């Protein structure tokens, strides 16, 4: 029997670099799959169904909400976004690991439905460093940087609802730590009941 894969949920304040970490993880860890979100917003030029999103009608999305087929969902400016359970469950059951990069509200919805998930919160080395990174990106006004930083401080109080905290000082360090977390979680006693039973069984042929 294959051990069920691990669902890793990554969150963290905006600007922390969790997108880059996620891409790096997917590149270096072939058993890891990215969970594709479903959305009711129309595809933009170049976006492909089943690659960027599962593009879904409003009726279909509402049916998924009604049937409890979503790990988490939210409505943003009149469009729905969410994570369909079925796709994630199929991957996990086949022993593959799945990563979900979502905000804290989404993560807490997932936690309620799938407590055996592994919840990782990415933080910058310091708020000063976060400010520098947002400055460097050059897309925010001073006002918006200040707003982002005070949001980050508030958001970081959510860290205690996660299992692990990973500092993004260097992307390669953060990726190494998340890989270690996946390896360790696969050794968690609570995930290995079947293995232990199997080992304790003496083969009748011997």
Q: Which is nearer to a second copy, 63 or 132 (CB)?
A: 132
**Does the footprint of a second copy cover residue 200 (CB under 8 A)?**
yes
> Candidates 36-44, 102-110, 137-145, 162-170 — which segment interacts with a second copy by CB under 8 A?
162-170
Query: Any contact of residue 77 with a second copy (CB under 8 A)?
Result: no
14, 23, 52, 163: which one binds a second copy (CB under 8 A) = 163
**Binding status of residue 127 toward a second copy by CB under 8 A:** yes
Is residue 100 near a second copy by the rule CB under 8 A? no
How wide is the angle at C-alpha 191 spanned by C-alphas 158 and 121, nearest 5°?
Answer: 20
Cα separation of 50 and 74, whole Å?
19
**Interaction between residue 171 and a second copy (CB under 8 A):** no
Q: How far apart are CA 145 and CA 136, in angstroms?
A: 11
Candidate residues 36, 85, 108, 156; the one interacting with a second copy per rule CB under 8 A: 156
| Residue 31 vs 126, nearer CB to a second copy | 126
Examine residue 177 and tell whether it contacts a second copy (CB under 8 A).
yes
Would you state the structure tokens that stand for residue 18, as one six-digit string?
Answer: 């969790």
List all residues 6 or more positions away from 21 whose beta carbon is below 8 Å from its beta carbon: 10, 122, 168, 171, 174, 175, 178
CA 30/CA 42 separation, integer angstroms: 30
Q: Structure tokens of 20? A: 């880059």
Q: Considering only residues 124, 134, 148, 175, which one is a binding residue for a second copy as defined by CB under 8 A?
A: 124
Q: Which residue, 78 or 193, has its beta carbon nearer to a second copy?
A: 193
Query: Judged by CB, which is closer to a second copy: 9, or 120?
Result: 120
36: left (phi over 0), alpha (psi -120 to 50) or beta: beta
Query: E strand or H helix at 2, and its extent?
Result: none
């Amino acid at each position: 029997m294959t051990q069920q894969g691990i669902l890793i949920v990554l969150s963290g304040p905006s600007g922390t670099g969790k997108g880059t970490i996620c891409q790096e993880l997917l590149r270096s860890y072939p058993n890891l799959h990215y969970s594709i979100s479903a959305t009711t917003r129309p595809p933009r030029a170049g976006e492909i169904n089943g690659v960027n999103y599962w593009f879904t009608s409003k009726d279909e999305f509402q049916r998924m909400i009604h049937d409890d087929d979503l790990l988490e969902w939210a409505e943003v400016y009149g469009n729905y976004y969410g994570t369909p359970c079925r796709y994630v469950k199929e991957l996990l059951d086949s022993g593959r690991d799945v990563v979900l990069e979502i905000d804290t509200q989404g993560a807490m919805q997932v936690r309620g439905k799938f407590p055996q998930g592994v919840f990782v919160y990415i933080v910058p080395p310091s708020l000063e460093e976060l400010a520098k990174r947002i400055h460097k990106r050059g897309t925010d006004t001073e006002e918006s940087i200040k707003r982002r930083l005070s949001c980050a401080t508030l958001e970081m109080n959510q860290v205690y609802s996660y299992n692990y905290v990973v500092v993004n000082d260097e992307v390669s360090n953060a990726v190494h730590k998340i890989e270690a977390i996946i390896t360790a979680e696969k050794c968690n006693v609570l995930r290995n009941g079947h293995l232990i039973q199997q080992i304790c069984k003496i083969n009748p042929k011997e």
